[in-house]
Amino acid sequence: MAGANQKRKLRASEVDWLIRQIKKIDRTKMVEQLTEKMVAAQEWFSSLELERPIIISGPCSAESEEQMMETCTQLAATGQVDILRAGIWKPRTRPGSFEGIGSVGLQWLSKAKEETGLKTAVEVANTKHVHEALKNGVDVLWIGARTTVNPFSVQEIADALKGVDIPIMIKNPINADIELWIGAIERIHGAGINRIAAIHRGFAKHGEKKFRNAPQWQIPIELKRRIPDIPMFCDPSHICGNRENLFNISQEAMDLNYDGLMIESHRDPDNAWSDAKQQVVPARIAEMVDGLELRSSKAGNGGSLLEEYREKIDQYDDEILALFAQRMKIADNIGLYKKKNGITILQGKRWDEILNHAIDKGKRAGLSAEFIERYLMAVHQESINHQNEVMNS
């Protein structure tokens, strides 16, 4: 226990520095291309490359002072948690569910901060939340998915933050719209906030069965492409919606070079007042973090072999693009034929045959049905665009 306490003190001083460095953005770049709008201080994480990611953990909802103190002290005792989180106000899908304990929970979180020496974080959704959190000394604020989706709400928070120097973390919107996510980042940055991080918590997807919110990794990857230096956290709790897949999603986030994790924890998860199925006991947080394999983003000694593989990938990509170009020329010819013979662009039966045949063939080749469907949908749409241009020119 003494070793954990000493380690925690060292980590606390480190996090003090990290919090100050979370994100440095040059505001003069706001009118330029997105990749030039944000110039990050990635050294926020550089000291952690040989250790582990930043871990934010705590209960989904603050329920009582006893529950908060017990959960937070157990998390601190692991020596693996850097920032304590707690849901104070809970935007639920339907009325009648527990919607948060309210501002009194901030006092409990403040007490936990004093007891453990760890920084704290809460979700805010309006001006009142911002003011209450700041008044109670919260160190980091995050904007939830249900708020990110609404530019009016984000702007209200941005206005409330003017003149304040505090790190803000922004979760992706519920729906898979990267522009809303970027727009929220821009609004908060426009209020003068220079320390911003993104949180990937998955996206609502009709028919999704494996996850509560589909990861759709390509969207946060695209965000990082557009804003290369923005720190990226993963929230596996909301992606999974269960405990069973938490570690696998956390490991995948690390393999994609994410900077940290936000994982919900509770002293008694089965009896939690909200999202019981996705919370774990503090000891499990420690087990997961200890079990993560942190790989380098650099090639290392095998760089020449990796470059050889990449050259092959580039070659195949060039060949695929050339084939796409040839395919679209045929689509143009089909468009001319349909125009001459008065045939509609869309032939439903033909599309079903193509899709079903490709999915079956793709499975035999080791390709997922999801990939085949998404690939064909994109190709089919481009073919329709070509035919439409030909038929209406």
Of the pLDDT bands very low, low, confident and very high (cuts 50, 70, 90), residue 15 is low
User: Going from the N-terminus, what domains does the chain have, and what CATH number goes with each?
Assistant: 2-291 (3.20.20.70), 302-391 (1.20.59.10)
Among the residue ranges 38-42, 53-57, 273-277, the one predicted with the least confidence is 38-42
Q: How confident is the model at residue 188 (pLDDT cuts 50, 70, 90)?
A: very high
Indicate whether 20 pLDDT > 90: no
* pTM recorded for the entire structure: 0.78
The pLDDT value recorded for residue 11 is 59
Query: Could you please report the per-residue DSSP string of 136-201?
Result: TT-SEEEE-HHHHT-HHHHHHHHHHHTT----EEEEPPSSS-HHHHHHHHHHHHHTT---EEEEE-
Please write the tens of the pLDDT for every residue from 77-109.
999 999 999 999 977 677 777 778 999 999 999
For residue 145, how many other CB atoms are within 10 A of its CB? 24
C-alpha pair distances (Å), 271 with each of 9, 92, 101, 161, 286: 31, 18, 16, 35, 21
* Residue 44 pLDDT > 50: no
Among residues of the chain, what percentage have pLDDT more than 90?
64
The helix (run of H) or strand (run of E) holding residue 234 is strand 232-234
Q: Which residues contact 139 (CB under 8 A, 6 or more apart)?
A: 19, 83, 113, 119, 120, 121, 166, 167
- Given a cut of 60, is residue 42 above it in pLDDT? no
**pLDDT tens digits along 225-278:** 999 889 999 999 999 999 999 999 999 999 999 999 999 999 999 999 998 999
For 83, the enclosing helix (H) or strand (E) is strand 83-85
| pLDDT for residue 35 | 44
Q: Three-state DSSP class for 273?
A: coil
Q: What is the predicted pLDDT for the residue at 17?
A: 54
